[in-house]
A and B are shown apart, each in its own frame.
Chain A
Amino acid sequence: MPVGRAGAVARPKLRSRPSGWRATYAPDQRRSWLRLLLASRVAVLALAFLIGLAALSALAPLLAPADPELVNPAVRLRGPSPEHWLGTDDLGRDVLSRLLYGGRISLLVGAAVTLVAVVLGAALGLLAGYWSWLDGPIMRVLDGIMAFPGVLLAIAIVVSLGPGLGSVIIALALVYTPVVARLIRSTTLVIKQMPYVEAARCIGLPHRVILWRYVLANSVSPLIVQATFIVAYAILAEASLSFLGASGNPEAATWGAMLRDGQRLVSRAWWLALAPGTVLFLTVFALNLVGDVLRDALDPRAHERREDAPVQ
């Protein structure tokens, strides 16, 4: 899949038309998002799936039938059996155990990338949106990074820093930081003009308080939507990176790296690709669903027109 910045960027872009949601944005929306999310049956299912997956991964040491890194070449490339429910890979490692442990790393990559991108992007976006003299330089640099095809930027960074999970996380975080920064910058630009912010400034509240309590607090909802998509895209992008040879520690593999290995032997040992392929697909799928439902729930127009949500 493409790194997915377009999907992530395009939405706020589109909605940022002068007649769009931004102008009518109201601060009281943020309390209701969880309730709205829970109102959608599909979203609840997706959320339950994601939570279950996270729990399974977290409990991997308890659940995994075998050591995921222990090789046993004598039983390599065996199909599913009572001893190995999901078969073994080309080093005779138990696929199920690797899948459980791999979930930890994949979800960690998704979460860490998102966290770094959100923190860094939000900081840059706030600075650029709030102080207009910083806007030019910050946005030019971010546009410069944005202009790279994300996959290429990430490969180059991983190769330069040397392979490893840290490099992958840094690389992907850098790819998504401009996306978050752009979003926060655009909300900041709007919120900055709001009467209550001007009032806060008049009574002499320091910038730091205004930024934190008014601007950022009011950007939380779109940020959460954005973050959901970034988690999904980051997990998939990590798989693409693995495929192109820029991966973390291959011994403790991510789902992406497992899928890459499975792809290599797809005609010989279907189970190798099927297991990681399915969980990877479902995870990204569920994250997308949650993101969609959230976005529509948070869009004020959706209150009147429930049908705006693509999937209920």
Chain B
Amino acid sequence: MLGCGDWLTRRLDRRAVVRHTARLALAAPLAAVLAACGGGGTGGGSSPVASPVASRDTRAPRRGGSVRVALTGEPPNLDLHQTTDSIVLLVTGHIYETLFTWDDRYEPIPLLAESHEVSDDGRRIQVRLRQGVPFHNGEEMRAPDVIASIERWGRIVGLGQGLLRVTEQLSAPDPYTVEFRLSEPFGTFTTALSRALQGCAIYPKSVLDRSSDTHLAEFVGTGPYRFVEWQPDRHILVTRFDDYAALPGEPRGYGGHKAQYLDEIAFIPVPDEAARVAGLRAGTYHYLETISTDHYPTLRDDPNVAVDLLRPDSWLNVVLNLKSPITGNHTIRRAIQLALDHEPIMQAAFGEGFYELTPTLLPGADAWYSEAGAEHFNPRRPEEAKRLLQEAGYDGSPLRFLTTQEIQQEYNATVVIKQQLEQVGFTIDLQVYDGATLSDRRDDPAAWEAYTALASFRPDPVLRNLTCKATGWWCTPEKDELLARLQTESDFKTRVEIWHQVQQRFYEEVPRLKIGDSRRILVRSPKLQGIGPTELQPELANAWLEG
């Protein structure tokens, strides 16, 4: 009970409450969940809606112990700059740190930086670094390390390229200050440097000197846990970094104080889903990276497991290929939009109670919630879709729909979408591949018309890849102009305004279809307490194991 109230007040600001009421109308399942929460009943660790935040602070933390985390597979590498596969975050989030990070309301706060100053014209930014922050290899973090890291990141990552493009000079006036001289203002400076996935991790210059843009020589950072060893298919081991320069005070989202209660964290790849679930129930693992919500009833009833139901923070979308002669046609894309009924799609993918239907493109990021274009969201007008198809002169040539069974939610959704589209007259060629073939196919504009993708939480729209380069190739000058302004603009209200316009265009031009928001479950051993925010990656730096 207390947990529930706590969850409501801490998670929902006033705007969000209003919005949630609106959402309730759209999504009965949430209502059921909230009602269950209000009604109490279960309580304790196995309460269906005990947020991780609420489960914190129940007992005094204990120092020590080794936590085993089951991963869905092997991370491709541990170079945060390099890979866009979000599985690495779980590991790297504890090894590396960035200049800025996110607080619990997903606003950027300094982490390795102490502060930053922007000149009045916005074209000179000075970042003051914290002093006495050691790397795992014993070196102290200083401006040259930061500059080398930013330069490498700026060569590899799209967002970094955007920043470096407007950077005329990057220099170090003193060992603890980094100065950017920009050709034009870059309003999302701290957002860009807070980015988690493909984030600007600060590596020691000595390591970068031995590395290249495609290869990182050593996994050294400033984070609370130190990389020990990586035995592929067995484990990745990190241990407490005793010289860690912890910030004083309380934890704040991904920033603030990190207590490092755990001695050691082992990340173990367990590719088989059933074995992952069984392993958690058997006590072999303390935490699962991610697990299908289909397992919720089993895990909820198991006293050896604690399940937390999270707020919806990811979204399912259908990416359309705008370079294809079929889906390049706007009328046909509109027909697809009108043909779909999102409710069964989300049911098939996530199960009853684990989704919401909202038009926002940034679920979980309350500040960016938008209803723009909502009239085009889930319109369910198959008759009109049929008419549009005729109007467009659709000749029945097959729509090649790519999917993989490796991500069950995407596959399930795709099968339902296929049947719905067939009902309005589309011919669907469902092509099921393994992950590697799929990503290969997606890069070829001539090979497909559509695929379904699950997109994870993003705290800021510039982190949502809707550029012309992204697969699907949504290229309209007006939209690209808006996205560019979103990057350079610093005034929050103006940015929200711009974002509404982007979302409006998203629904009108139909480059993709947003299907719905999905909830995740956080499953852990009841002994594992104090897990921090989990939207980007689970923060274990303040977690502890009860004896």
Do A and B form a real pair?
A: yes
Q: Which residues of A contact B348 (CB under 8 A)?
A: 71, 73, 76, 90-92
A245 on the B face (CB < 8 A):
yes
Partner of A70, one of B281, B351, B419: B419
B408 on the A face (CB < 8 A):
yes
Partner of B295, one of A159, A251, A265: A265
Q: Which residues of A contact B294 (CB under 8 A)?
A: 77, 90, 265, 268
Decide yes or no: A71 and B415 within 8 Å by CB, A76-B347, A251-B430, A264-B408 being known contacts. Answer: yes
User: Chain B 402-437 against A: per-residue CB contact (8 Å), 1 yes, 0 no?
Assistant: 000110100110011001000000000010111001
Q: Which of B277, B297, B405 has the most CB of A within 10 A?
A: B405
Partner of B297, one of A159, A162, A268: A268
In B278-320, the 8 Å CB interface with A consists of 278, 281, 294-295, 297-298
Q: Which residues of B contact A76 (CB under 8 A)?
A: 347-348, 351
In A50-104, the 8 Å CB interface with B consists of 70-74, 76-77, 90-92
User: Chain A 256-291 against B: per-residue CB contact (8 Å), 1 yes, 0 no?
Assistant: 000000011111100000000000000000000000
Decide yes or no: A266 and B274 within 8 Å by CB, A77-B351, A92-B348, A245-B405 being known contacts. Answer: yes
Q: Is A267 touching B277 in the complex (CB atoms < 8 A)? A: yes
Expressed in whole angstroms, the minimum distance between the Cβ of A240 and any Cβ of chain B is 13
Q: Is A268 touching B432 in the complex (CB atoms < 8 A)? A: no
B273 on the A face (CB < 8 A):
yes
Q: Is A91 touching B416 in the complex (CB atoms < 8 A)? A: yes
Q: Which of A73, A74, A90, A249 has the most CB of B within 10 A?
A: A73
Q: Which residues of A contact B344 (CB under 8 A)?
A: 71-74
Q: Is B297 touching A71 in the complex (CB atoms < 8 A)? A: no
Partner of A263, one of B274, B297, B411, B419: B274
Q: Is B415 touching A74 in the complex (CB atoms < 8 A)? A: no
Decide yes or no: A163 and B408 within 8 Å by CB, A76-B351, A77-B351, A265-B294 being known contacts. Answer: no
Expressed in whole angstroms, the minimum distance between the Cβ of A99 and any Cβ of chain B is 18
| Contacts across chains A and B counted by CB atoms under 8 Å | 64
Q: Is B274 touching A264 in the complex (CB atoms < 8 A)? A: yes
Q: Which residues of A contact B278 (CB under 8 A)?
A: 267
Residue in B closest to A266 when the chains form the complex, CB atoms: B274
Inter-chain CA distance A72–B352, complex, in Å, is: 13
Decide yes or no: A73 and B416 within 8 Å by CB, A91-B348, A268-B298 being known contacts. Answer: yes
A2 on the B face (CB < 8 A):
no
A250 on the B face (CB < 8 A):
yes
Inter-chain CA distance A35–B101, complex, in Å, is: 79
Q: Is A91 touching B412 in the complex (CB atoms < 8 A)? A: yes
Partner of A264, one of B273, B416, B437: B273
Residue in A closest to B344 when the chains form the complex, CB atoms: A73
Q: Which residues of A contact B406 (CB under 8 A)?
A: 245
Q: Which of A71, A162, A245 has the most CB of B within 10 A?
A: A71
Inter-chain CA distance A72–B281, complex, in Å, is: 30
Expressed in whole angstroms, the minimum distance between the Cβ of A201 and any Cβ of chain B is 53
Partner of A163, one of B274, B297, B411, B433: B433
Q: Which residues of B contact A73 (CB under 8 A)?
A: 344-345, 347-348, 416
Q: Is B298 touching A71 in the complex (CB atoms < 8 A)? A: no
Expressed in whole angstroms, the minimum distance between the Cβ of B446 and any Cβ of chain A is 16
Residue in A closest to B433 when the chains form the complex, CB atoms: A163
Inter-chain CA distance A245–B408, complex, in Å, is: 12
Name the prevailing secondary structure of the A interface residues. loop
Count of residues in B whose CB is under 8 Å from the partner chain: 27
Inter-chain CA distance A264–B278, complex, in Å, is: 10
Expressed in whole angstroms, the minimum distance between the Cβ of B412 and any Cβ of chain A is 6
Expressed in whole angstroms, the minimum distance between the Cβ of A159 and any Cβ of chain B is 6
Q: Which residues of B contact A266 (CB under 8 A)?
A: 274
Residue in B closest to A242 when the chains form the complex, CB atoms: B405
Inter-chain CA distance A159–B437, complex, in Å, is: 8
Partner of A250, one of B345, B411, B419, B437: B411
Q: Which bucket holds chain A's interface residue count?
A: 20 to 34
Q: Is B437 touching A268 in the complex (CB atoms < 8 A)? A: no
Inter-chain CA distance A76–B416, complex, in Å, is: 12
Q: Is A90 touching B412 in the complex (CB atoms < 8 A)? A: yes
Q: Is A268 touching B295 in the complex (CB atoms < 8 A)? A: yes
Q: Which residues of B contact A92 (CB under 8 A)?
A: 348
User: Chain B 345-370 against A: per-residue CB contact (8 Å), 1 yes, 0 no?
Assistant: 10110010000000000000000000
Inter-chain CA distance A255–B433, complex, in Å, is: 20
Q: Which residues of A contact B345 (CB under 8 A)?
A: 73
Partner of A267, one of B274, B408, B411, B433: B274
Residue in A closest to B430 when the chains form the complex, CB atoms: A251
Inter-chain CA distance A112–B492, complex, in Å, is: 65
User: Chain B 257-286 against A: per-residue CB contact (8 Å), 1 yes, 0 no?
Assistant: 000000000000000011001100100000
Expressed in whole angstroms, the minimum distance between the Cβ of B90 and any Cβ of chain A is 22
Inter-chain CA distance A159–B436, complex, in Å, is: 10
Decide yes or no: A249 and B432 within 8 Å by CB, A77-B294, A264-B273 being known contacts. Answer: yes
Q: Is B298 touching A250 in the complex (CB atoms < 8 A)? A: no
Inter-chain CA distance A263–B430, complex, in Å, is: 24
In A150-164, the 8 Å CB interface with B consists of 159, 162-163
Inter-chain CA distance A90–B296, complex, in Å, is: 14
Q: Which residues of B contact A264 (CB under 8 A)?
A: 273-274, 408
Q: Which residues of A contact B419 (CB under 8 A)?
A: 70-71
Q: Which residues of B contact A268 (CB under 8 A)?
A: 294-295, 297-298
In B524-543, the 8 Å CB interface with A consists of none
Inter-chain CA distance A268–B296, complex, in Å, is: 8
In A137-177, the 8 Å CB interface with B consists of 159, 162-163
Q: Which residues of B contact A159 (CB under 8 A)?
A: 434, 437
Residue in B closest to A72 when the chains form the complex, CB atoms: B344
Inter-chain CA distance A77–B353, complex, in Å, is: 14
Expressed in whole angstroms, the minimum distance between the Cβ of B162 and any Cβ of chain A is 37
Q: Which residues of B contact A267 (CB under 8 A)?
A: 274, 277-278, 281, 295, 298
Residue in B closest to A93 when the chains form the complex, CB atoms: B415
Expressed in whole angstroms, the minimum distance between the Cβ of A269 and any Cβ of chain B is 8
Q: Which residues of A contact B416 (CB under 8 A)?
A: 71, 73, 91
Expressed in whole angstroms, the minimum distance between the Cβ of A76 and any Cβ of chain B is 7
Inter-chain CA distance A299–B141, complex, in Å, is: 80
Inter-chain CA distance A267–B377, complex, in Å, is: 36
Q: Is B434 touching A245 in the complex (CB atoms < 8 A)? A: yes
Inter-chain CA distance A77–B297, complex, in Å, is: 11
Expressed in whole angstroms, the minimum distance between the Cβ of A33 and any Cβ of chain B is 42
User: Chain B 326-350 against A: per-residue CB contact (8 Å), 1 yes, 0 no?
Assistant: 0000000000000000001101100
Inter-chain CA distance A133–B274, complex, in Å, is: 53
Residue in A closest to B278 when the chains form the complex, CB atoms: A267
Q: Which residues of B contact A265 (CB under 8 A)?
A: 274, 294-295
Q: Is A251 touching B298 in the complex (CB atoms < 8 A)? A: no
Inter-chain CA distance A268–B281, complex, in Å, is: 13
Residue in A closest to B297 when the chains form the complex, CB atoms: A268
Q: Is A251 touching B408 in the complex (CB atoms < 8 A)? A: no
Q: Which residues of A contact B433 (CB under 8 A)?
A: 162-163
Q: Which residues of A contact B412 (CB under 8 A)?
A: 90-91
Q: Which residues of A contact B273 (CB under 8 A)?
A: 264
Q: Sorted from nearest, which 5 A-B pairs have the closest CB atoms?
A: A73-B347, A73-B348, A73-B344, A267-B298, A268-B298
Apart from the given pairs A91-B348, A264-B273, 20 other A-B contacts in the complex at a CB distance below 8 Å: A71-B416, A71-B419, A72-B344, A73-B347, A73-B416, A74-B344, A76-B348, A76-B351, A90-B408, A91-B415, A159-B437, A162-B433, A163-B434, A245-B405, A247-B405, A249-B432, A250-B405, A250-B411, A263-B274, A266-B274
Provide 7 A-B residue pairs closer than 8 Å at the C-beta atoms, listed in order of the A residue.
A91-B415, A162-B437, A246-B434, A250-B411, A263-B274, A267-B274, A268-B297
